[in-house]
Homo-oligomer: A and B are copies of this chain.
Amino acid sequence: MISNEMLQLGTKRSVIREIFEYGKIRAGEIGAENVYDFSLGNPNVPAPECVKEALLELLNSNDSNVLHSYTSAQGDAGVRKTIADSINERFGTNVTANHIYMTVGAAASLCICAKALTMPGDEFITFAPFFPEYRVFVESVGAKLKVVPVNTDNFQIDFKSFKALLSPNTKAIIMNSPNNPSGVVYSEETVKELCSILEEKSKEYNHPIYLISDEPYREIVYDNIKVPYLMNYYKNTLVCYSYSKSLSLPGERIGYIAVSDQMEDGGNMYAAICGAGRALGYVCAPSLFQFVIQKCIGATSDINAYKENRDILYNGLTKFGYDCVRPDGAFYLFVKALEEDANAFCEKAKKYELLLVPGDDFGCPGYVRVSYCVKQSQIVNSLPAFEKLIQEYQA
């Protein structure tokens, strides 16, 4: 008599969580230092010092009613203005506070956008490999998720497959760059081609196709790689941002949706986002952390720590003979499994205490995700295990 769909969602633990739980048990058996757990995307780099400073300053100089009262549903106006100004400064846009809607993190941002957009029969399209919860969020509001198969040449977009999935029912595209799990940044060339197709098809279907840019990893990029800001390429863009990774605050659930200032009918889109937030029970984003974000605007955690991790891991694994795309951002390495079945490969890796996540749930069988947002010592110490694993296959 309860919703079977929700029961299934709540009962079927994600593969990532299963591996993480196994890792905790195994750590109890042989010591945490001997288990190489690469399963979770939980940042290990601390929040920047400004977060604690901002919290202390706010607590010591404001009444509790100022800090902890309801903000307006779309977020505190001053906080939204600070964020809008920062976006404009960095990307040359013209957004205002009234294009910014504060959310309870990236998952909330995506759910709210999906709810605001969806009408019966609507379809969303995303690109493999993709964050598995996209399917949950999209299906939860009654829409359908279609997945463009992976292009393993370079993990950019396979446009032929993409075009084949477009239809008059296509409501929006969800793009994630830097990408979880591949670590790839979609190039400007890719973005331009994507946007040109969307322009053309929007005209052909006589309705806009929206572009949802899910970018919690925007700040986590290496070697001065530029991540194109999609608003500058496509007017019907919604940016879903979260501070979970950039400020190492995943538990605080704070982020925003930015509506392009060029969007057709953008005022109504913003209103529908407000309506969707209300319908999903999001009264406002956590107030104290809204003010923290304002004070820490422009700050990030120590990205260099992730870059060092990437270099050690990528160089080590490719030297051993592993095949993987060099990640330009995020903190994941996406490695070709050494046999067709990535699940079987992950089981073999466990013998060497390596906990990896099969790519199947990311829409990319035959690959595994290695989360390197871990202590550097874990990466260094795990390399001999990775070497033994490949040697087993080469034997």
Contact = CB atoms under 8 A, between A and B. Distances in A.
B10 A248 contact: no
Contacts of A67: 251
A32 to B, nearest CB: 15
Contact of A278 (B4, B46, B104, B136): B136
A242 to B, nearest CB: 10
B11 A275 contact: yes
B107 A279 contact: no
Given A2-B116, A119-B3, A278-B10, A252 B140 contact: no
Interface string A245-257: 0001111110000
Nearest to A105: B283
A377 interface: no
Nearest to A288: B252
Interface stretch (A55-63, A152-160, A386-394): A55-63
Contacts of A171: 1
Given A46-B64, A117-B3, A10 B274 contact: yes
Interface stretch (A68-76, A333-341, A354-362): A68-76
A8 B272 CA distance: 7
Given A68-B47, A116-B3, A251 B286 contact: yes
Interface string A205-223: 0011000000000000000
A165 B76 CA distance: 41
Interface in A81-134: 104-105, 107-112, 115-119, 133
Contacts of A284: 251, 253
Nearest to A290: B251
Given A115-B3, A250-B69, A286-B286, A10 B46 contact: no
A273 interface: yes
Contacts of A265: 2
Contacts of A118: 3
A285 B273 CA distance: 21
A283 B253 contact: yes
Contacts of A274: 9-10
A224 interface: no
Contact of A272 (B10, B115, B119, B276): B10
A85 B137 CA distance: 34
Given A46-B63, A70-B42, A252 B9 contact: no
24 contacts: A1-B208, A2-B116, A2-B269, A7-B268, A7-B271, A9-B275, A9-B278, A9-B279, A10-B274, A42-B70, A47-B68, A55-B55, A65-B248, A68-B252, A107-B282, A108-B282, A111-B281, A112-B281, A136-B278, A137-B279, A253-B283, A253-B284, A280-B281, A286-B286
Given A3-B119, A3-B276, A65-B248, 8 more contacts: A2-B119, A3-B117, A7-B272, A9-B275, A10-B273, A47-B64, A105-B283, A280-B280
What are the nearest 3 A-B pairs in CB distance? A251-B287, A10-B275, A9-B275
